């Protein structure tokens, strides 16, 4: 199993190491502009943390929120909302994950202005990732990109 920093460096998206909400994290950053996104620049932060603690719904909610705030604070792209958006993909790895945490990650429930907060889990023991199951209507044009990006990173964590 590769470590998260190595994966992000191999993808040429490595941004740095930070401790976010008490969890050491590797951070990747992708700046992408597409006409098919209604001429929008999307600034995507991929934040991968690892914990030995049990991951319940509160843990993933807090981790996702902290990663989202980090992403907004460190966004170097165009101002959010002016043909520009920010996405925070927070991947939390652990060995013990509660069902409520899994259910939370399978639904896209957080809505923000010109920004996306996407919590993801990775069960180290089962070598299995958990992400949203369906693309939402709001911001749906971006979710195929998010799904492809998340799936690519999760496959490399295995």
Q: Over pLDDT 70: what percentage of the chain? A: 99
Q: What is the pTM assigned to this prediction? A: 0.93
Domain ranges of the chain: 4-157
CA 106 to chain centre: 13
How far is 140 from 121, CA to CA, in rounded Å? 21
Residue reference for tokens 């799904």: 147
Spell 5-18 as b/e; 16+ CB within 10 A means b: bebbeeeebbeeee
Geometric angle at alpha carbon 13, from 9 and 96, rounded to 5°: 75
pLDDT of 151 above 90: yes
Would you say residue 4 has pLDDT above 50? yes
Structure tokens that stand for 6 in this block: 């190595």
In this prediction, residue 127 carries a pLDDT of 94
| Residue range 97-143, pLDDT digits in tens | 999 999 999 997 777 888 999 999 999 999 999 999 987 777 788 99
């Amino acid at each position: 199993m590769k470590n998260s920093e190595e994966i992000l460096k191999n993808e040429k998206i490595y941004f740095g190491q930070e401790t976010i909400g008490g969890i050491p994290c590797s951070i990747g950053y992708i700046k992408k502009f597409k006409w098919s996104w209604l001429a929008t620049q999307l600034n995507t932060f991929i934040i991968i943390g690892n914990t030995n603690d049990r991951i319940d719904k509160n843990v993933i909610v807090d981790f996702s929120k902290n990663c989202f705030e980090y992403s907004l604070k460190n966004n170097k792209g165009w101002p959010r909302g002016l043909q520009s958006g920010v996405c925070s993909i927070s991947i939390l790895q652990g060995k013990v994950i509660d069902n409520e945490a899994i259910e939370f990650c399978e639904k896209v429930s957080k809505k923000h202005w010109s920004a996306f907060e996407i919590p993801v889990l990775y069960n180290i023991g089962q070598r299995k990732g958990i992400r949203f199951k369906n693309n939402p209507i709001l911001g749906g044009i971006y979710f195929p990109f998010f799904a492809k990006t998340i799936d690519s990173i999760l496959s490399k964590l295995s």
